[in-house]
Amino acid sequence: MTRLLDCPKEHFLKVSKELPSFKRVKHYFKTLIQAIYGNQDKAIKKIAAGKDRACELFESEEGHDVGLIVFKTHLTKEFSPLGFEDSFEIKTLFVIDPKKNAGKKIATHLLNRLAKHATELKAKNVFVSVSTIKPESLAFFLNHGFRTKKIKKNAYITGSNEYYLFHNSPEKLLARTTLVLLAPKKQFSKLYLDEESHPQLEFSTIEWKALSLYLAGKNLNMVINGLEDYFGTTASTSMVHKVLSKLKQSNLKWHAPKLVSTYTIIFINTLYRDEDKTEAIGELIIGLTPSGKRHVLGCTPPGPLPQSYWIGIFSELKARGLKKVDIISFQKHQHLPLSLNKFYKNMKIINTDSLKAWFIDNLSPQNIGQQLLEEALEIQANTILIEEQAEIRA
């Protein structure tokens, strides 16, 4: 058994057909992995045969399975056409019950173990393929130094692309994952934000009312009619367009110092007041660059937001120079329109429940996170105030 760096009671178990652990692995492939990647009978048979690959279960100190890995036991020259010789091939890296095991560095433990095997085999590089239907997995590998060398369309599942990722130094991968495992459990996630101060949101009373109607899902005509009913004066279409544009520009000001032209993934992540995750205060728009860096592209009011709002946001991003996006990943409650794919050719829009939750304390620098919180709460407070005034007036 291999003891781990910061969890001395946790260990990996080798899996073979004769051991009880094989039945558990078979169960995970049939019930969890098959639901994502389709039929796994062939993979299970190859694990049982054990001729060219090995499987290991990662067990917690309580004796529960929390992850599994499958890897080739011999180096391959299969990827020579892509410029990679003597590759160590990762077949599976899977976290069991990721919601329950979030924040425990399970995936990093698994990758660290694989990097150790690759180093022992004296591999020149490490290979893994990741599907577009698992954008959070793609982000994980890019963040650990893997780079995309090929994208295979309609691989395994129709409509899903497979990313061929390589890391050119198993030793560096082992060192990086070891450092992550040795780091304190609570650490700031590295984000790239514009550190300049920004003016607070400034909207007139009629503009706040227009925003409250719009964010409640009203279309343009309904917003105009609502303003006329409330204020007793005629509201112009141009005024409503202007205030909505003002809001979107403000939402997009939380950006990297320089927007890059290509993002592999854009995540729409829920932003909470604190790590208890009881109060959502907005949605963070986070872009992942091809080199694994995360940029905050914007922050919106809490969802669900009208579909026209998201179309407006991505229109603004495109106008700012965003030329290519491979994947947009969001959660069900955010209701992103599928028509967003008109902005970028071959872009995939993925609905997932496995996205990272952000809260103010894990935004860096913290003062910007705090200002973002204040602005999000200001939108909420003014919207509530307008509704209360409307009730009194009625």
Q: Is 240 left (phi over 0), alpha (psi -120 to 50) or beta?
A: alpha
Instruction: Say which DSSP state 158 is in.
Output: T
**Residue 3: predicted pLDDT:** 37
Residues of the chain with CATH 3.40.630.30: 11-182
pLDDT, tens digit (0-9, with 9 covering 90-100), for 227-283? 777 767 777 777 777 776 666 555 444 445 567 899 999 998 888 877 777 877 778
Instruction: Say which DSSP state 364 is in.
Output: S
- What CATH fold (topology level) applies to the domain 11-182? Aminopeptidase (3.40.630)
d(CA 298, CA 296): 6
At residue 123, φ and ψ (nearest 5 deg) are -70, 150
pLDDT, tens digit (0-9, with 9 covering 90-100), for 79-136? 999 999 999 999 999 999 887 877 788 999 999 999 999 999 999 999 999 988 888 8
pTM listed for this prediction: 0.71
pLDDT, tens digit (0-9, with 9 covering 90-100), for 127-167? 999 988 888 899 999 989 999 999 988 777 777 889 999 99
CB 71 within 8 A of CB 54: yes
**Residue 63: predicted pLDDT:** 85
CB 324 within 8 A of CB 263: yes
Using CB atoms within 10 Å of the CB of residue 15, give its burial: 0 to 12 exposed, 13 to 18 middle, 19+ buried: buried
- Helix segments in 183-236, DSSP class H: 205-215, 220-231
List the beta bridge partners of residue 318. none
Concatenated DSSP letters for 282-310? Answer: EEEEEEE-TTS-EEEEEEE-SS---HHHH
